Chain A
């Protein structure tokens, strides 16, 4: 078979089959196409502005390494005029972080970027290893996730930086879209699909002061395929570290990830298509970002502290995550019955008749919806979050005291505690009784941890 010719330059031999669209490219063309796409993402979304100091959230993994490398290249090539620094968070997990932090240190030298490493112990007084010792392997991802979410913001504030870029790629975003559909978390679905997120402070602070509540986050690799990131790292001989965290296989994310990989195999564009669907669906989330009243203009989406481990949420037990969700759903369904029956009788002009009546059962128009059977009949509005500041640390939170502080308090009291919160996303209509029952059950099931 004759060697294929690169589809872009039409001269070199094609050596790379592009994962995104199966285009045949030569190595230099692949690298320039990949960089051009990131540049395109940055410019069309106006992610950066001249003179900005930007911290790259660096883990030593392939995504953040490629991100740092590409941003450095592009910043020089297109003269963005931004100052790039590396910011690493040390969770304090021996055997995982030690090695990857070494990688970050080498990267800092290779790219000539200043590096700051902040440890959980400095920020919170606990390393993850200590947390695990305390709470066991189950549920520790909650701690890690809650701490990490704030850690980058706190770190950025410490460095006087107001913009953090992270290495989330298209696969990650697509995965999160599917995961949040499986988990039924629409508010988070709409949040995670937007390319820029911010945690604006409640009182707009003066431009000079940087508090950790108004850090902008963005994902320049949002449309880049994981496979292409690996290819890019490989062909540019980038120095990165690959290992999974020792503590956390997450059931939902794992399930969604497997699905995404299969989808990609069937139709390469599927990852991008899921991202697109996620963006479109975000506009359809009731009470979503479109009518966000508190001044989060443009594409920036309000982000509250995430709960979960490794960029996701749900601090339930790791292995049985899906099982416990299942159990919880069964419970809430049972608990919801009461409240919903009330709604039916008040909303229905005619009571829902048994099949043997003469009432026309096919109702059209708005009323039809109200008359439907219990579990789907009501369109539950996702609970609106009202943002305030944590009374202890000042971080943006919908609670009086933010999740990190709550968790810390538990740790410091030397008493394991899990983070199931009553108020976070309980549907408004659900009866109070139902909630307490559900919550009681969760706590029971988590008790033995």
Chain B
């Protein structure tokens, strides 16, 4: 739950469905846990987590939770895997007191706005996956619209995360061990916006008003790849909605890479890294060994995409 139009609409629809199930059969097929990951401590544009109480008032039949994103540093309490942590000094520290400082150290070390946005997204997904697993959820339902998924397809591509695309845009099991579903995948954002206004009372009342993106500033300091893609698809959606849908359909056709539970995982995003090809070295486009630097020495355990965002030697979540 991001309080955006998509996730609020999803909740609205599921709530309606549950009410119908109860009315017809007296029982329901599923339960909802509505979770908001609170990033307001680290993102200026993040919604105020107190919005959740409005939602709770409107859709009272579900459980609600707000998790601060810093919790990602304490997610593995019971089955912490020391061998994958790779940050020995961290294990000695008491977790609870230092999670927010861990987080701010990590985020402060990131070199760009793109890296920050990318890392926060990764942490959010991780935290949500961990929460869902801890609460024995069958699946995570994401509110992403077609437009959003198309944006993600291209921005993940642009961030060098093409290898993990099938897990971030297609329905199905993910390496995190939980199903991801995107029930709104066939609806455009503008359709959702119209719908949110037609509903009585309008969903806009409980939504977080996104600041108008409008023209993306050309100042490269604050613009992120995600911003660029959002602006791009906003304009494409205007005239060519089917092309937006086509991007998503195309990305969905990609087959998830096969992986074993024992395969090496990226320490940040948790995606399997085939053949242990960590980091940005050791592929055809890597030119560093051409310049006399040793290739393949980077043993940080980050995938290509995460390596682009996170500099070396930063304390990662366990």
Q: Which chain A residues have a beta carbon within 8 Å of chain B's beta carbons?
A: 8, 33, 36-37, 39-41, 44-45, 170, 177-178, 181-186, 195, 222-223, 255, 259, 262-263, 265-267, 269-270, 272-281, 283-286, 322-323, 325-326, 329-330, 333, 355-362, 364-365, 368-369, 372-373, 375-376, 379-380, 382
Contacts and interface: CB of A to CB of B under 8 A. Distances in A.
Nearest to A40: B290
Of B29, B160, B179, B257, chain A has the most CB atoms within 10 Å of the CB of B160
Contacts of B246: 182-184, 325, 329
Contact of A362 (B24, B181, B236, B305): B181
Contact of A276 (B16, B240, B283, B290): B283
Given A181-B157, A181-B251, A326-B243, A33 B291 contact: yes
Nearest to A269: B308
B161 A181 contact: no
Interface stretch (B124-132, B218-226, B262-270): B218-226
Contacts of A269: 160, 308
Nearest to A32: B291
Contacts of B173: 365
Contacts of A275: 285
Contacts of A273: 157-160, 304-305, 308
B228 A281 contact: no
Nearest to B229: A259
B21 to A, nearest CB: 6
Nearest to B257: A284
Given A181-B154, A362-B29, A45 B284 contact: yes
Interface in B261-318: 283-285, 287, 289-291, 304-305, 308
B257 A360 contact: no
Contacts of B77: none
Contacts of B245: 329, 333, 375
B139 to A, nearest CB: 6
B86 interface: no
28 contacts: A37-B287, A37-B290, A39-B290, A40-B290, A45-B284, A181-B153, A195-B284, A223-B287, A259-B154, A266-B220, A266-B224, A267-B308, A277-B156, A277-B158, A280-B163, A281-B165, A281-B254, A283-B163, A284-B257, A356-B20, A362-B29, A362-B139, A364-B139, A368-B172, A368-B179, A369-B172, A375-B249, A376-B185
Given A223-B284, A277-B162, A357-B24, 12 more contacts: A8-B291, A40-B289, A222-B285, A263-B158, A266-B112, A266-B225, A278-B157, A322-B243, A325-B246, A355-B17, A356-B24, A375-B245
A40 B282 CA distance: 12
Contacts of A185: 250
A197 to B, nearest CB: 14
Interface in B109-164: 112, 114, 138-139, 141, 153-154, 156-163
Return the 10 tightest CB-CB contacts between A and B, nearest first: A277-B162, A273-B160, A40-B290, A329-B242, A360-B29, A280-B163, A358-B25, A184-B250, A284-B254, A281-B162
Contacts of B141: 362
Contacts of B27: 358
Contacts of B161: 277
A281 B163 contact: yes
A276 B220 contact: no
A40 B162 contact: no
- Interface residue range, chain B: 35 or more
Contacts of A364: 138-139, 179
Contact of B257 (A8, A283, A362): A283
Contacts of B160: 269, 272-274, 276-277
A253 to B, nearest CB: 14
A265 B220 contact: yes
Contacts of A365: 173
Given A36-B290, A279-B283, A355-B16, A186 B171 contact: no
Given A263-B225, A362-B139, A379 B252 contact: yes
Contact of A333 (B16, B29, B242): B242
A283 B254 CA distance: 9
B157 to A, nearest CB: 4
B97 interface: no
Contacts of B247: 181-182, 184
Contacts of B239: 322-323, 326
B284 A41 contact: yes
B253 interface: yes
Contacts of A277: 156-163, 165
A362 B254 contact: no
Contacts of A281: 157, 162-163, 165, 254
B242 A359 contact: no
Contacts of B112: 266-267
A326 B241 CA distance: 7
A154 B16 CA distance: 65
